[in-house]
Amino acid sequence: MEIQETSQRDIARFLQNAGASGWNWTAFSTRPNEDQRPPDFEGFISADKAQAYCNDNGVSRSYPYEDDPYDVREEYLDYRFMPVEALQKAYHADKGITTINFPLGSLKEAMSSQSVQFLPGQTTEQALPLLQAETIFPVQWNKLIDPAQEVDRFHVIGHRHAGHQVYEIGHSTRVVGSFSSLAEAEKCFKEQVRQYTDNTDKNDYLLIGQYKGREVVQDMEGWPESYSGLTLKTANYQYDNDLQAKIWNVQEISTLDEPKGIRHFLYARFDPESEKLTLYNDRLQETRPEDLKSINLSRSI
């Protein structure tokens, strides 16, 4: 962002508060250039909270122009967010970044070696100002895995929701059985459908695989989050239009033979001197994607 003269005092005050409060991110409002009012800055520890604030506050508002209550104008507050350190560097910079021979080749090699890329639609040229300032920039981490090598445990899950309304209160999941082999898990899965041919226990069923070293984290429907495992089969008791009756509908969702992708949105910093690329989570804590227990979908500006 460009630092306007009218904003300097507000930015200085915010940066002082950010240091005392431990804020890593700031969300700020932008207004038309002709309205020389300074932006509003809010501080946050994590990028996801800053992003949520931007989403909640990007609305049209009315305000009195030049403190004249009779001259009411409409504006749309376009909220964005950025690392506090980037705002601090912009505030203290007398001129634009003048780094010339930035080692882009080394950067791309470091990103490739760690399986990270720029966000979709973002080019190296667009990221260059952040790279030259040696500040945080957003990336995504993608890795293809072989489920046959990564899945070492299988679970049959019973999922129940009152009245079979997808988001009705009353969801519950239970582990019917856990197995070290797929054959044993499939046998248990089929037994549930045969045992409850009319779905008297009011459950749907899932057969899921758990990745090595991961704790299975399930969503509301009982499906594992993609970083913790994968759903192999589902069994849902539902109405069949052709048979004019309710029957079990068993579907194969995934197999162990198909490569699966794991993705995280992260942040990175590249040191041109050491040619080292460091990755961070949305709280700007140094991290390894392989160790993450949850998916971060935050994106920066």
Q: Which residues pair with 275 in a beta bridge?
A: none
How high is the pLDDT of residue 247? 86
pLDDT band at residue 77 under the 50/70/90 scheme: low
Name the domain boundary from 60, 94, 128. Answer: 94
Same domain, 86 and 211: no
**Domains contained in the chain, number:** 3
How high is the pLDDT of residue 265? 85
Same domain, 33 and 108: no
From start to end of the chain, where are the E strands?
25-30, 41-44, 60-64, 72-76, 78-83, 116-117, 137-145, 151-160, 172-179, 204-211, 229-240, 245-252, 260-271, 276-280
pLDDT band at residue 74 under the 50/70/90 scheme: low
Q: How far is CA 216 from CA 140, 189, 251, in A?
A: 22, 18, 21
Name the domain boundary from 213, 235, 252. Answer: 252
DSSP 8-state symbol, 169: S
Name the domain boundary from 50, 68, 94. Answer: 94
Same domain, 109 and 88: no
Lowest mean pLDDT among 83-87, 148-152, 159-163: 159-163
Same domain, 142 and 156: no
Same domain, 184 and 221: yes
Q: Which residues pair with 231 in a beta bridge?
A: 208
Same domain, 272 and 131: yes
Same domain, 141 and 152: no
Same domain, 159 and 81: no
Same domain, 202 and 283: no
| pTM (predicted TM-score) | 0.57
Same domain, 190 and 267: no
Type of residue at 254: S
How high is the pLDDT of residue 255? 94
Same domain, 211 and 288: no
Domain encompassing residue 111:
100-146+260-301
How high is the pLDDT of residue 34? 47
Reported as half-sphere exposure (CB side, CA atoms, 13 A), residue 189 has a value of 28
Please check the confidence at residue 215 and state whether its pLDDT lies above 60: yes
Are 218 and 236 in contact by the 8 Å Cβ rule? The answer is: no
> 3-state class of 267 per DSSP?
strand
The string of pLDDT tens digits covering residues 90-137 is: 777 654 545 557 788 899 999 999 989 998 878 887 788 778 777 888
Rounded to whole angstroms, the Cα distance separating 118 from 110 reads 12
Rounded average pLDDT over 237-247: 80
Three-state SS letters, 239-262 = EECCCCEEEEEEEECCCCCCCEEE
Same domain, 207 and 240: yes
Average pLDDT, the chain: 80
